[in-house]
Amino acid sequence: MKIQCELCPKNCLIKPGQSGECRVRLNIDGILRTVVYGYPCSIHVDPIEKKPLFHFLPGTGILSIATVGCNLHCRNCQNWEISQTNPEDSQAYFLPPEKLVAEARNNRIPSIAYTYTDPIIFYEYTYDSAKLAKKEGIRSVLVTAGYVNTEPWERLLEYVDAANIDLKGITEEFYRNVCSGTLKPVQNALVTAKAKGVLVEVTNLIIPTLNDSPQDLRKLCSWIKSNLGADTPLHFSRFFPRYKMRHLPATSLGTLKLAREIALSEGLQYIYIGNIASKEGQNTYCPGCKNLLIERSGYTILQNRLKEDGCPDCGQIIYGVWK
């Protein structure tokens, strides 16, 4: 008997013995089963700035995990070796939620990131781990494309402290042609997360010729300002030719700087440039007095001038979770 998975907007109809598009949620005897619960393929301690999260516990390490699989199939995927592979072709660790949270606690790591592929497809593992982590005082971070249905998303957000959510483009055409997804559910996920009080930062990977036009960038920034607020940090990230998009060049620094200028002119307050060295693009400046607040070099914090959660010079409150 066929079953339907209603976790993400793909709403996959799954025949017996087969999986949904994510490769990890299967129809076994008419019951939906996840084969990656407690089996991450990657575990690392990353600097939190790598997620990227610049307004959440700066300078701390974050225990980062992923399982194989993904519900999107972006032609430019940077992690396609794990996101677009089958569980049966992969190697994984056995790390159930209790052990995962214990690893964070024993190593004094203040937060856990569900990242690299997409935590939506290992939803139950993420949910149970985040719930347990909250009890232990450990924060939970999602790095996600936000391609999820509203009801499970809202339920998961109860236990999530911060999220970096991709807004990969601002047209349905881009999502359809490049990611095999749709735009609207991602926009809904962004709005819901911000409304639920989760610290939200947005990443937009700029791909030459596909989503780098000044009009699209302006539209994207304007949408963020109107729907998430001017204080939402936005990371423009450099594209590198990978997976099925090896024919395109890497994004130029000029394009990234132009995107930053457009975002600032649209009124967004915290604009960063990632995957490339750029002085202004990696520092946090006060939107009030424009003074430097946090100076970074790569993932390293060189200087943090924040006083409590505000600017030491003009007192402006800076959006973020600082300790």
Partner 1 sequence: MTRRKFIKKLIGAGSLVVVGAGWLVKKTVPLKYVRALKFKKYPGSLKSMSNIPTQGKWSG
CA distance 177 to 211: 12
CA distance 13 to 21: 10
Candidate residues 10, 21, 47, 54; the one interacting with partner 1 per rule CB under 8 A? 47
Using CB under 8 A as the binding rule, whether residue 156 contacts partner 1 is answered as no
Smallest distance from partner 1 to CB 29, Å: 11
Nearer to partner 1, 138 or 262 (CB): 138
CA distance 31 to 303: 53
Candidate segments 75-83, 182-190, 227-235, 260-268, binder of partner 1 by CB under 8 A: 75-83
Using CB under 8 A as the binding rule, whether residue 93 contacts partner 1 is answered as yes
Using CB under 8 A as the binding rule, whether residue 64 contacts partner 1 is answered as yes
Candidate segments 85-93, 221-229, 262-270, 283-291, binder of partner 1 by CB under 8 A: 85-93
What is the residue-wise DSSP string for 174-233? HIIIIISS-SHHHHHHHHHHHHTT-EEEEEEEE-TTTS--HHHHHHHHHHHHHHT-TTS-
Smallest distance from partner 1 to CB 225, Å: 25
CA distance 156 to 198: 11
Give, as one character, the DSSP assignment of residue 48.
G
Using CB under 8 A as the binding rule, whether residue 33 contacts partner 1 is answered as yes
Nearer to partner 1, 28 or 253 (CB): 28
Phi-psi label, residue 29: left if phi above 0, alpha if psi -120 to 50, beta otherwise: left
Using CB under 8 A as the binding rule, whether residue 45 contacts partner 1 is answered as yes
User: Could you tell me how far CA 299 lies from the centroid of its own chain?
Assistant: 17
CA distance 289 to 313: 8
Using CB under 8 A as the binding rule, whether residue 82 contacts partner 1 is answered as yes
Nearest 5°: the CA angle 112, 118, 119 is 50
Nearer to partner 1, 146 or 287 (CB): 146
CA distance 264 to 282: 14
Smallest distance from partner 1 to CB 280, Å: 22
Candidate residues 26, 112, 179, 189; the one interacting with partner 1 per rule CB under 8 A? 26
Smallest distance from partner 1 to CB 88, Å: 4
Host H or E run for residue 128? helix 123-135
- Rounded to 5 degrees, what are φ and ψ at 306? -60, 140
Smallest distance from partner 1 to CB 190, Å: 17
Using CB under 8 A as the binding rule, whether residue 13 contacts partner 1 is answered as yes
Entry field: residues in the chain: 323
Number of residues that bind partner 1 (CB under 8 A): 57
**298 to 317, contacts with partner 1 by CB under 8 A?**
none
Using CB under 8 A as the binding rule, whether residue 74 contacts partner 1 is answered as no
Nearer to partner 1, 93 or 223 (CB): 93
CA distance 70 to 85: 9
Using CB under 8 A as the binding rule, whether residue 107 contacts partner 1 is answered as yes
CA distance 302 to 27: 50
Binding residues (CB under 8 A) for partner 1: these are 1-7, 13, 25-26, 28, 30-39, 42-47, 50-51, 63-64, 66, 68, 78-79, 82, 86-95, 103, 107, 115-116, 123-124, 143, 149, 151-152, 164
